[in-house]
Amino acid sequence: MEEKECPECGSRDIEQGKLSGYAAMRPKHRALSFGSAIIADVCTDCGEILSMKVEKPEQFKR
């Protein structure tokens, strides 16, 4: 896996965090879906969020 670097402070100390519960992302075309948690790559030095993605992308397919 490629080592990421924070564009804000240059740190390479990047860890993952998880948004879930009320912060879950739901498919727009399925209003009653539980959706998926959001996984974020976060710089542990300055707090910059480098990227975000859903944990279960298959829930967004039509």
At 20 the pLDDT is 73
In this prediction, residue 46 has a pLDDT band, given cuts at 50, 70 and 90, of: very high
Residue 27 inside a domain? The answer is: yes
CB burial of residue 23 (10 Å; 0-12, 13-18, 19+): exposed
Q: Are 61 and 22 in contact (CB under 8 A)?
A: no
Residue 5 inside a domain? The answer is: no
Residue 52 inside a domain? The answer is: yes
> Of 24, 59, 19, 58, which Cα lies nearest the Cα of 39?
19
Residue 42 inside a domain? The answer is: yes
pTM (two decimals): 0.77
Per residue in 1-44, pLDDT (tens digit) is 478 999 999 999 999 999 877 777 777 777 667 788 899 999 99
How many distinct structural domains can be found in the chain? 1
Residue 31 inside a domain? The answer is: yes
